Chain A
Amino acid sequence: MCLGVPGLLVERSQPAEDLAFGVVEFAGVRRRVCLACVPDALEGDYVIVHAGIAISRIDPIEAQRVFAYLNEIGDRDGWTEGAPL
């Protein structure tokens, strides 16, 4: 369960529709996505999309946390730093 794919919100539609929609881009593929559950997501944000709806807005600061975790727990072995973002 739950294929949720991160994509870039490139366009929010006009709020005149009964449900908020927008266009999300995944590696060059664009799809119309329902944004009703992410009212705070703005164009330029990344959202996670599942079954045609955005279920969360990716928090860029928290996203970085995973790369700092090893350092936090004292993993010091002269490895090169983690992935660039």
Chain B
Amino acid sequence: MKYVDEYRDVHLAERLLDQIRRTVTRPWTIMEVCGGQTHTLIRSGIDRLVPEGLRLVHGPGCPVCVTSLEQIDRALAIAAQPRVIFCSFGDMLRVPGTSRDLLQVRAEGGDVRIVYSPLDAVRIAREHPNREVVFFAVGFETTAPATALAVWQAKRLALRNFSMLVAHVLVPPAMEAILGTRTNRIQAFLAAGHVCTVMGYEDYRTLAERYRVPIVVTGFEPVDLLEGILMTVRQLESGRYEVENQYARSVRREGNLPARNILADVYEVCDRPWRGLGILPRSGLCLRPAYHDFDAERRFSVESVTAIEPAECRSGEVLQGLIRPDQCAAFGTLCTPDHPLGAPMVSSEGACAAYWKYGRSQDRTIPGTSMR
């Protein structure tokens, strides 16, 4: 696949790794924000191939993981209602609410459907005029243009039976929250390449300068991540703290203007609770008054359940990079992919799930085989 395979080239990756090893002279702690980057780092083994002192911390870049328990419970309540067709990305289906998840709601008779795109949910609404179609709009700035286009289209078509439960969150406030904590040890960031594709990277300059952290906008393939890490350690080793763009084939400084325009038309910035991090001011997107008719929160009055987080779940600390998943007492005991306590264990991008799937083999050589 063009623009994929080249960035998985092993020789180039090895050259970049080699250069990283030669550049690093001191321990450094870098956070990659995006769950897709976490996925690649662990799956390709890069996190274990980088030099000993270079610590890669997985950040809260999993919008599934950070969607608040209240919002999940609200989603479950709406999905359970008889006339509703509840459409969601596949990622959300196994995320636990207080007492169940969307898969269980489906088993109990709820019409829960996986869609690949929010525009598919609009199509479903057109095809089923007698049903209430609700789309669970989860995701960062990358996904928000798609949901904005969906509700924009619904409004143009004057659809009466389409609404969205919005849970969008923004990345820069989360990065700022992490940098601002007393216990912060993050010295640099790999910024999320697709978030920046939409939003550009102007926002990051003030962060880089105020906290003196290099921020490198990075892609998602092994070569991208290695290059991003190399650019980052070169800055760290020379005391620079600038914003650089590794993912220039997709990211422009100003981002994607048509996408930003549709976002500005449909959404406004609001405060939002993050699961595990608390309420971060001006960290979410909410529908503007012109689109309030399409807001599922207003359309469906569901009993607000007091969302109860299990006491043993330390997902907040994991999401901030303060502990590794395997440092949580519940990891692998009370909390496994089969019976997760929190979202980072369920979502394929969650740090806990990634650790579970990929992180448990420490060996490099296999006894009893001929494989290198």
Name A's B-contacting residues (CB within 8 A). Answer: 1-6, 8, 18-19, 26-27, 34, 36-39, 46, 48, 50-53, 55-56, 58-60, 62-63, 65-67, 69-70, 73, 75, 77, 79-80, 82-85
Contact = CB atoms under 8 A, between A and B. Distances in A.
A1 B141 CA distance: 10
B249 A59 contact: yes
Given A1-B139, A6-B1, A6-B2, A37 B262 contact: yes
B31 interface: no
Nearest to A49: B117
Interface residues of B, number: 58
A19 B98 CA distance: 39
Contacts of B149: 19, 34, 36-37, 53
Interface string B254-266: 0010110010000
Contact of B145 (A1, A53, A77): A53
Contacts of A67: 6, 12
B3 A2 contact: no
B250 A38 contact: no
Given A52-B146, A70-B19, A82-B12, A1 B194 contact: yes
B227 interface: yes
A55 B142 contact: yes
Nearest to B251: A56
Contacts of A80: 11
A35 B291 CA distance: 22
Contacts of A27: 1
A50 B323 CA distance: 31
Contacts of B143: 1-2, 50-51
B36 interface: yes
Nearest to B6: A83
A6 B19 contact: no
A33 to B, nearest CB: 8
Contacts of B223: 66, 83
Given A1-B36, A82-B11, A8 B145 contact: no
Given A19-B149, A19-B153, A55 B256 contact: yes
B19 A52 contact: no
Q: Which secondary structure dominates where chain A touches chain B?
A: loop
B116 interface: yes
B146 to A, nearest CB: 4
Residue of B16, B35, B117, B223 most packed against chain A (CB within 10 A): B117
B118 A51 contact: yes
A55 B259 contact: yes
B197 A56 contact: yes
A38 B12 CA distance: 31
Given A19-B149, A34-B149, A50-B142, A58 B250 contact: yes
Contacts of B294: none
Nearest to B144: A51
A50 B4 CA distance: 15
Contacts of B117: 34, 51-53
Given A4-B220, A55-B197, A70-B19, A63 B119 contact: no
24 contacts: A1-B142, A2-B193, A2-B195, A18-B156, A19-B119, A37-B256, A37-B262, A39-B258, A48-B197, A51-B142, A51-B143, A55-B142, A55-B145, A55-B194, A58-B3, A60-B249, A63-B249, A65-B249, A69-B230, A70-B19, A73-B19, A75-B19, A82-B11, A83-B12
B11 A70 contact: no
Nearest to A39: B258
Contacts of B16: 70
B140 interface: yes
B119 A53 contact: yes
Contacts of B230: 69
Interface string B148-164: 01000100110000000
